[in-house]
Chains A and B, each alone.
Chain A
Amino acid sequence: MTRRIALIALFIAIVAIAAGYAAAFSRNGTPTWAPWLLAAGIPVALGAIMILGAVRGAGGIGRLKIPFAFVILILAIGFGAALALPASEGPLSRLWLGLPARAAVVIYGVGLLPIIVLPVAYAMTFETLTLSAEDVERVRMSGRKYATSQPAPISGNETLSAND
């Protein structure tokens, strides 16, 4: 079910991004809503393909729901804020860690926050949700079984079956 939802979300996000690009070909110039389609479509597409990669078999993604949701939201909020907030950059602007507010949202929010969350979540859940020593052994056994079922290798390094 999780895999199906991720696939549908990925497809819808790609359609949204395609619509954003198509709108840019309008004779009257790019409509103001076109960037919003990319701002929404990109986080969903990236989140969906990550979920697709994280799903095991017919199962779900367990605790990874939280970091995935966080990153999709961070990207969407970052892009949305950059589009929606009024331009206020000037000599007297208040600086956030050395940058004006809208730039700080993008550089620190979109560019740095996911680094703190995603790779750590990946490492912390690696053995339980991504790959264990038993998984590797099962794959090795399956590969050996496949190799013995093949008549002759095509190349010196692998036994690719070629049906077409």
Chain B
Amino acid sequence: MTEARPISALLQVALPNAAQPAVITVGLLYFAVIIGISIWAARRTRTANDFFVAGKGIGLIALTVASVSVSVSGFAFIGGPGFIYAAGLGAMYIVLPAAVTNVMGAWVLAKRMRLLAEARGLITIPDAIGARYRSRGAQGLSAIAILVGIVGYMATNALAMGVVINSIFGVGLGWGIWIGMGVTLAYSVSGGILAGIYNDVFQGTLMAAASVLVFLFVLNFGGGLGEISRTILAHDPTFLAPWGRLTPLAALSFFFVFSMGSLGQPQAVHKYYMLRDPLQLKWYPLLKTLGLVLVLLLYFGVGVGVKAFVLAGRLAPLTSPDQATPTLLLNVTPIILAALVFSGVAAATMSAANSFINIGAAIVTHDLPVAFGRRVTNELRWGRVATVLIAVAAAITAQRSGTMVAFLGIFGWGLFASTLVPALAVGLNWQGATRAGAMASIATGLLVTLALEMASYWKLFRFPAGVTASAVAMVASFLVFFIVSWLTRDSAAATIDPDIQLVMDI
């Protein structure tokens, strides 16, 4: 068995030049639709509430599709299938948690977050932490943790946008980054999260359609899943073993981090505030899970299918695993399908970038001032200013293409998980959790993640097989949260206001 390739290596890929008339035409149409939606949304954004949580007026279907859209990134279309091609079925442990994460999020967070919005009119995740623990310190600390994670995510997404746009239009990586970020910025600034949500709906639909079509094409081209498996089993049976080429510990570690960690991802959790009617949550997990399954069909289908086609000699061996999707699209599928998928990848990166820009702007203009006991008088105007600054900073950072950007990206997901899951997900459901426990847990997640990732990046330390910084940091954060809350348990009841108590009891 071989060890998992570092996720960092999978966040950036070099795509081949796909600049053909059909691909360019579909790409231009895609951008035209984005601009149309943004103009429509800009006319409906009048307050900070509209800008950051869409005035809590999003319907169930729109919210579900938008949430699916931000839950996957370009990794699901390019890096993920490449990971399966390289590591076999072990790579599926990143996406298998989708079977439980959405309904788990609904039970643990959705109801209470949405009710907090009813009771207090909260608009951010640090707002919820601040209200739960009656603590500006906890709100500020969680805001800083999220902001640090967003820096990494944004730079990685900006770079991914540049790679995809360069592949579609052949404009060069630098221009690709600025064009992608410029379009995302235009709709983020003008229409805030409202433009983001409805663009996500369009982008999520595009991604699901592209994923399903490619999956069906692969099955048809390979003669069905059974035939594809037979081909692989004849040449490389380890590929279809339950852990693939990963160690069991590595595969299970992926499952742990991507299941439990999903409860701390702000781009998904933030969406709970936006649902128009809290009672519509009833169907949210079912619809979102089905949507995610559709979008992730490509991940599985291309990874396994391309492996079989290469082993059978129907495709030339890949120069690198990340070429699995582009090679299939540009050599086997109809060009229009390739165009749809390339636009789908652009959609995935822009959707994620918009969501993070919006959350980052809310932190800068809302949470950090509140943490210091200040108030920004015009949150809408300053929200727009912060949006521009965050996007430009991300684009500039992304220009430093290379391992530093990849490094920034890898700790984003793990950092959100280790800093937010205990304090938010457990804290909203356990009245014995204390302010001290929450702050110690957030600080532990932040420091352990940064220390371990930096030590690993500078090669000061090497983790044993199957252990990741994200997993260690999340476990440490949980243990600190429980232990400190237990040690300070006498103060637990004093930190809960009556309306918050009611939200936690329901």
Contacts and interface: CB of A to CB of B under 8 A. Distances in A.
Interface in A135-164: 135-136, 138-140, 142-143, 145-147, 154-164
A45 B281 CA distance: 24
Contacts of B240: 89, 99-100, 103
B229 A135 contact: no
B176 interface: no
A52 B108 contact: yes
A17 B475 contact: yes
A162 B370 CA distance: 9
Contacts of A29: 464-465
A82 to B, nearest CB: 4
Contacts of A102: 241-242
Contacts of A147: 120
Contact of B89 (A103, A119, A130): A103
A161 B370 contact: no
B435 A14 contact: no
Nearest to A135: B506
B499 A146 contact: yes
B289 A115 contact: yes
User: Range of interface residues on chain A?
Assistant: 35 or more
A30 B464 contact: yes
A143 B286 CA distance: 30
A17 B118 contact: no
Nearest to A21: B467
B contacts with A: majority SS: helix
Given A7-B430, A143-B499, A115 B99 contact: yes
A164 B479 contact: no
A20 B451 CA distance: 21
Contact of B120 (A50, A98, A126, A143): A143
Contacts of B111: 53, 130-131
A15 B479 contact: yes
B245 interface: no
Contacts of B134: 161-164
Contacts of B242: 81-82, 102-103, 105-106
Given A100-B229, A142-B498, A145-B499, A158 B252 contact: no
A52 to B, nearest CB: 5
A24 B465 contact: yes
A107 interface: yes
Contact of B497 (A87, A90, A93, A146): A146
Contacts of B448: none
A97 B233 contact: no
Interface in B359-373: 366, 369-370, 373
Contacts of A69: none
A52 B426 contact: yes
Nearest to A49: B108
Contacts of A118: 99-100, 103, 285
Interface in B93-128: 95-96, 98-100, 102-104, 106-109, 111-112, 115, 118-123, 127
Query: 7 tightest CB-CB pairs across the interface, nearest first?
Result: A98-B225, A143-B119, A53-B108, A82-B242, A119-B286, A53-B107, A35-B248
Interface of A: 3, 7, 10-11, 14-15, 17-18, 20-21, 24-26, 29-30, 34-35, 38-39, 42, 45-46, 49-50, 52-57, 71, 75, 79, 81-83, 87, 89-91, 93, 95, 97-100, 102-103, 105-107, 110-115, 118-120, 122-123, 126-127, 130-133, 135-136, 138-140, 142-143, 145-147, 154-164
Given A17-B471, A136-B115, A157-B48, 5 more contacts: A89-B241, A143-B120, A145-B498, A145-B499, A155-B370
